[in-house]
């Protein structure tokens, strides 16, 4: 083990390590805090649990404490880390969305990496038969169709089947200050929606794991042997910017806050900035009648190799000055759809329904309902969800 002084130094530096961002916007409420300590920095709470254990870790580029990756810290501390599992975008976070990747060896640690995406979305229980404990440390963004929470579900399932303990090193939710959108219906479950959640679910990874267990959402009603190491000094009122981008196309807090609203455009012919330096912060289409602002999507390795409307000038709107406390809205989708006049903007209805979690939203939009009218249709299910959610909260709730 390293000297005690190293622990003190790392722990001290970890204050604020989770909240320092390269894109710090002013927040009117002044609730963005530098005092948050993520679960992975609270060594005293979980190092004793993993001593003399064979460990597997589910992690990506976000599992960093004071510029040191958790895997490097565990190895330096002589823990027996034998396997790494990586979600969409890979262990280092540099793989295009939706791209399969194969089992490999991490160049830095020489530890085998197993993919939890593509053909192997589900963790095979056999791959963790030779470990004692699985550690999960991934930054989520609080949106149902962001696939890291689907990975969480399947990791919990594999641990439950294999009778392995799962330790979740919890992190703040940058969208944890509200709940919105329709609850996914059973027939629309997919890897962009495994559990019955609204589009913006208002939970940390640790709280969601407790809900999955408590509501018996795992296969055959199984329960995972779960330990959650809480983040310190976080509440659901905190507006918080992850220090490391959770995925290649969510580079800052503005993109994260706009993500649940703009992701529905993925089922359309409209660009939301993939292939630019400002993904999920602009909206455009190759028609000058769509707006005065313009941008040109390009192929960006590791972020978007074949963006929609590649090398074409797209016209639309610039959302980069959006306040970081913005919430989910259908406004952009409904407003932009009007620009298409008699042409249908939503060209992939099947994908749209999977993202929405139902077929009603598409019908409502095509029927010309207003956002207010659409929202009323999911009020009852959201109220029921909010009551259920209260049982699993680990942090003070938003007002």
Task: Give me the DSSP letters along 306-350.
Answer: S-TTTTS-EEEEE-TT--TT----SHHHHHHHHTTTTS-SB--HH
Q: What is the pLDDT of residue 19?
A: 40
Q: What is the pLDDT of residue 342?
A: 61
Q: What is the pLDDT of residue 12?
A: 43
Domains 4-243 and 253-368 are alike in CATH topology: no
CA distance 394 to 392: 6
CA distance 99 to 32: 34
For CA atoms 241, 175, 37, 302, the dihedral sign is negative
Give, to the nearest 10 degrees, the angle between helix 253-262 and helix 331-338: 60
Indicate the pTM of the whole model: 0.90
H helix intervals, 52-192: 70-76, 148-162
Q: What is the pLDDT of residue 118?
A: 76
pLDDT in tens, 65-112: 998 999 999 999 999 999 999 887 777 655 555 554 556 788 788 899
Residues of the chain with pLDDT under 50: 1-16, 19-30, 100
Q: What is the pLDDT of residue 16?
A: 46
The secondary structure of residue 285, as a DSSP letter, is E
CATH topology of domain 253-368: 3.90.1150
48's tokens: 């004793």
pLDDT in tens, 274-311: 999 999 999 999 999 999 999 999 988 766 668 999 99
Residue 78: Cβ-neighbour burial (10 angstroms; 0-12, 13-18, 19+): exposed
Domain 4-243 has CATH 3.40.50.12170: yes
Q: What is the pLDDT of residue 157?
A: 97
167 with 88: CB under 8 angstroms? no
What residues does 316 pair with on adjacent strands?
A: 284, 293
Q: What is the pLDDT of residue 1?
A: 44
- Every domain of the chain and the residues it spans: 4-243, 253-368
CA distance 256 to 195: 21
CA distance 284 to 361: 22
Residue 397 DSSP SS3: coil
């Amino acid at each position: 083990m390293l000297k005690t002084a190293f622990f003190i130094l790392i722990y001290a530096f970890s204050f604020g390590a989770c909240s320092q961002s390269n894109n710090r916007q002013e927040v009117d409420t002044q609730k963005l805090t530098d005092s948050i300590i993520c679960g992975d920095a609270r060594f005293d709470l979980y190092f004793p649990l993993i001593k003399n254990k064979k460990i597997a870790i589910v992690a990506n580029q976000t599992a960093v404490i004071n510029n040191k990756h958790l895997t490097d810290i565990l190895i330096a501390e002589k823990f027996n880390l034998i396997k790494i599992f990586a979600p969409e975008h890979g262990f280092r976070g540099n793989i295009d969305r939706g791209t399969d990747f194969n089992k490999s060896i991490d160049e830095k640690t020489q530890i085998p990496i197993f993919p939890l995406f593509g053909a192997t979305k589900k963790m095979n229980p056999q791959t963790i038969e030779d470990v004692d404990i699985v550690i999960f440390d991934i930054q989520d963004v609080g949106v149902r169709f962001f696939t890291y929470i689907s990975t969480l579900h399947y990791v919990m399932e594999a641990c439950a089947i294999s009778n392995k303990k799962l330790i979740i090193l919890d992190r703040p939710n940058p969208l944890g200050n509200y709940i919105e959108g329709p609850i996914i219906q059973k027939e629309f479950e997919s890897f962009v929606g495994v559990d019955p959640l609204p589009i913006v679910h208002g939970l940390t990874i640790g709280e969601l794991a407790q809900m999955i267990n408590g509501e018996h959402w795992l296969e055959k009603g199984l329960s995972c042997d779960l330990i959650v190491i809480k983040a310190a000094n976080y509440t659901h009122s905190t507006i918080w910017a992850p220090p490391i981008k959770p995925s290649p196309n969510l580079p800052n807090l503005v993109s994260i806050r706009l993500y649940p609203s703009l992701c529905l455009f993925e089922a359309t012919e409209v660009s939301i900035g993939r292939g630019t330096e400002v993904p999920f912060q602009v909206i455009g289409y190759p028609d000058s009648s769509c707006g005065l602002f313009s941008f040109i999507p390009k192929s960006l390795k590791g972020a978007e190799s074949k963006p929609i409307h590649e090398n074409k000038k797209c016209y639309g709107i610039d959302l980069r000055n959006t306040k970081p406390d913005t919430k989910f809205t259908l406004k952009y989708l409904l407003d932009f759809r009007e620009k298409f006049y008699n042409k249908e903007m939503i060209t992939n209805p099947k994908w749209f329904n999977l993202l929405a979690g139902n077929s009603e939203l598409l019908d409502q939009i095509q029927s010309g309902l207003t956002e207010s009218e659409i929202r009323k249709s999911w009020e009852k299910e959201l109220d029921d969800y909010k009551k259920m959610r209260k049982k699993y909260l680990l942090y003070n709730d938003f007002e």
